């Protein structure tokens, strides 16, 4: 790296970290309506920061739901490629709050980590690219490629607005590659590029028995308890090996080739690592697949929440009339979320005994899984950028999480999608004590710069 830029990046570190902390103080939780104003403030903060960074055409795009921010710098020349950078500034809720060691919206440095909600997912990773562009503009006055940013505030609640915006503004967003940092690498010295993400379908289940809560002495044994009926239904959704029992669930799942299995077997992540990261006493799931395959290439059905009846202090001998669960399915390529939704809904109705009523309310349309070939020039350029900064070639692997808009980018822009993450597997995404490994933040800025420079050579 050029000495002037190198010195700049070194000296800028405290300011870059302080700015990220300022952004993290805004509780931009998109799934809670009470935080709508905060999501907007997070967008406004980004607009101001992008202006200081030297970006142009910065626009806060208000929508029916949550805002987005667009910005660009398009003076590299029309012979140079254009990179579209995507990220999100909305975050997940923070409960259970009592398990946080420091408050989620008071970003705190402990050792090499910055703790805060959104530190890794995804303000920290998004900010990497704003600071990379700023560093280049402030030291050289230009960028090696044309750059566009589209940063949304609704990823954690389904990306509805951006999913509609992209098809309607395909010209504005046209690019030769889409760069996304919203995933993780394997360790601080083992970068990883994802070539697939899982899709999603989710719903709330309501089980209703009696028309109102009943005294369990007077009615117990004669009227079906809604909590019990829900537990019986949910327990029937998996067999003893962890396979989903919904008829037809696996019909469209692609069979992994021997080559792909061999390649995934080289990923240095297995039972030992997942047990250490999760703190669970044993691994779970389909025995014929490795944990990388189970989380990357196999579909699942998860019970995200269940409630009903009396849970306050003391005891209350009651037969609850209603019980609830929130479930979600992680989908793999070729599984259609609408079809899976119908299969699951039909099966839940079929499992319902005549003693209760079962309602299934889907949350949105769901998302298809994502898969991309990784021998494309843009992804290989990302590989070289990682190698320059981390000193190790990236591993190509699959991930279980989802980023709904990637399929829309793939379909509408026809550009290769580069999933270049800087999080770590133990960043506690969506959980208490979310953190971002600070060396990954600074190395991320260098890698982003290296990627733009590598793209310019294509």
- With CB under 5 A as the rule, give the number of residues binding Mn ion: 3
State in angstroms the smallest separation of the CB of 300 from ligand BES. Answer: 12
Q: How far apart are CA 413 and CA 168, in angstroms?
A: 11
Nearest to 247 by CA among 320, 345, 328, 319: 345
In the bound complex, what is the minimum distance in angstroms from residue 430's beta carbon to Mn ion?
A: 6
**Residue count at the site for ligand BES (CB under 6 A)?**
15
Residue 185 engages ligand BES in binding (rule: CB under 6 A): no
C-beta of 122: minimal distance to ligand BES in Å? 6
Q: What residues between 130 and 169 interact with ligand BES by CB under 6 A? A: 155-156, 158
Applying CB under 6 A, does 184 fall inside the site for ligand BES? yes
C-beta of 183: minimal distance to Mn ion in Å? 8
How far is the C-alpha of 173 from the C-alpha of 84, rounded, in Å? 7
Beta carbon of residue 401, minimum distance to ligand BES (angstroms, whole number): 2
Kindly tell me which residue out of 161, 166, 173, 200 binds ligand BES, with binding defined by CB under 6 A.
200
At 60 the three-state DSSP class reads: strand
Quick check: 176 binds ligand BES (CB under 6 A)? no
Q: Which residue lies nearer to Mn ion by CB, 347 or 437? A: 437
Structure tokens at 175: 């690019």
Residues in the chain: 458
- Among ligand BES, Mn ion, none, the one that 383 touches (CB under a kind-dependent 5 to 8 A) is none
Q: Say if residue 96 is preceded by a cis peptide, omega within 30 of 0.
A: yes
8 A C-beta contact, residue 233 and residue 408: no
Query: Is the CB of residue 151 less than 8 Å from the CB of residue 88?
Result: yes
Burial (CB < 10 A; 0-12, 13-18, 19+), residue 398, is: buried
Quote the least distance from Cβ 355 to Mn ion, whole Å: 38
On the CB side of 122, CA atoms within 13 Å amount to 25
320 or 404: CB nearest ligand BES: 404
Complex with Mn ion: residue 43 or 358, whichever CB lies closer: 43
Element (H, E) at 419: strand 417-420
Segment 113-132, which members bind Mn ion (CB under 5 A)? 121-122
3-state SS of 87-119? EECCECCCCCHHHCCCCCCCCEEECCEEECCCC
Give the residue with the Cβ less far from ligand BES, 323 or 420. Answer: 420
Could you tell me which residues come within 8 angstroms of residue 49 by beta carbon, excluding any fewer than 6 positions away? Answer: 19, 23, 130
Considering only residues 27 to 46 of the shown chain, the ones binding Mn ion according to CB under 5 A are none
Q: Does 84 bind ligand BES (CB under 6 A)?
A: no
CA-CA distance, 318 to 310, in Å (whole number)? Answer: 7
* Closer of 81 and 402 to ligand BES (Cβ): 402
Per-residue string for binding with ligand BES, 87-126, x by CB under 6 A?
A: ----------------------------------xx----
To the nearest whole angstrom, how small is the minimum distance from the Cβ of residue 386 to ligand BES?
Answer: 16
The binder of ligand BES chosen from 30, 163, 183, 447 (CB under 6 A): 183
Beta carbon of residue 267, minimum distance to ligand BES (angstroms, whole number): 14
Evaluated on CA atoms 279, 280, 285, 290, the torsion sign reads positive
- Output 232 or 273, the one with its CB closest to ligand BES: 273
Which string of DSSP letters, residue by residue, matches 182-251?
A: -SB-SBTTB-EEEEEE-EEEEEEEEEE-SSS-EEHHHHTTTS--HHHHHHHHHHTTB-TTS-B-STTTTT
Question: In which residue are the tokens 């799931």 written?
Answer: 285
Nearest distance, CB of residue 419 and ligand BES, angstroms: 8
For ligand BES, the binding residue among 134, 154, 182, 454 (CB under 6 A) is 182
Binding track, positions 386-415, relative to ligand BES; x by CB under 6 A: -------------x-xxxx-----------
Q: Verify binding: residue 182, Mn ion, rule CB under 5 A.
A: yes
Residue with nearest beta carbon to ligand BES: 401
Closest CA to 226 of 211, 204, 246: 211
> What residue ranges bind ligand BES (CB under 6 A)?
121-122, 155-156, 158, 182-184, 200, 399, 401-404, 429
> What residue ranges bind Mn ion (CB under 5 A)?
121-122, 182
């Amino acid at each position: 790296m050029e000495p002037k830029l190198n010195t700049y990046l070194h000296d800028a570190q405290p300011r870059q970290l302080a700015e990220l902390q300022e952004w993290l103080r805004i509780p931009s939780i998109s799934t809670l309506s009470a935080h709508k104003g905060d999501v907007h403030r997070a967008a406004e903060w980004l607009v101001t920061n992008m202006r200081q960074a030297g970006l142009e055409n910065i626009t806060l795009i208000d929508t029916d739901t949550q805002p987005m921010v667009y910005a660009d710098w398009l003076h590299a020349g029309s012979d140079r490629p254009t990179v579209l950078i995507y990220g999100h500034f909305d975050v997940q809720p923070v409960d259970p709050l009592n398990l946080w060691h420091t408050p989620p919206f008071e970003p705190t440095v402990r050792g090499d980590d910055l703790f805060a909600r959104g530190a890794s997912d995804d303000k920290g990773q998004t900010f990497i690219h704003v600071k990379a562009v700023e560093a280049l503009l402030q030291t050289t006055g230009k960028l090696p490629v044309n750059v566009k940013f589209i940063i949304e505030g609704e990823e954690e609640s389904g990306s509805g607005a951006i999913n509609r915006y992209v098809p309607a503004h395909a010209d504005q967003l046209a690019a030769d590659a889409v760069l996304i940092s919203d995933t993780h690498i394997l360790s601080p010295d083992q970068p990883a590029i994802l070539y697939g993400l899982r899709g999603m379908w989710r719903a709330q289940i309501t089980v209703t028995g009696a028309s109102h809560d009943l005294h369990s002495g007077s009615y117990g044994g004669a009227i079906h308890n809604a909590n019990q009926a829900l537990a019986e239904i949910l327990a029937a959704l998996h067999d003893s090996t962890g396979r989903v029992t919904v008829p037809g669930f696996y019909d469209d799942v692609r069979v992994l080739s021997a080559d792909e299995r061999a390649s995934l077997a080289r990923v240095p992540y297995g039972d030992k690592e997942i047990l250490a990261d999760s703190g669970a006493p044993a691994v779970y799931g389909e025995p014929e697949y490795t944990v990388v395959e189970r989380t990357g290439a196999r579909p699942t059905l998860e019970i995200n929440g269940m409630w009903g009846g009396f849970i306050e202090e003391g005891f209350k001998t009651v037969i609850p009339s209603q019980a609830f669960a929130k479930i979600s399915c992680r989908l793999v390529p070729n599984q259609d979320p609408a079809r899976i939704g119908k299969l699951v809904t039909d099966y839940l109705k079929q499992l319902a005994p005549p003693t209760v009523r079962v309602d299934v309310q889907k949350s949105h349309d769901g998302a298809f899984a994502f898969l991309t070939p990784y021998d494309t020039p843009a992804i290989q350029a990302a590989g070289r950028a990682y190698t320059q900064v981390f000193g190790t070639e990236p591993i190509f692997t699959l991930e279980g999480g989802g980023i709904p808009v990637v399929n829309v980018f793939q379909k509408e822009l026809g550009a290769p999608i580069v999933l270049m993450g800087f999080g770590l597997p133990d960043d506690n995404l969506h959980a208490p004590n979310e953190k971002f490994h600070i060396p990954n933040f600074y190395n991320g800025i260098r890698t982003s710069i290296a990627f733009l420079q590598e793209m310019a050579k294509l």
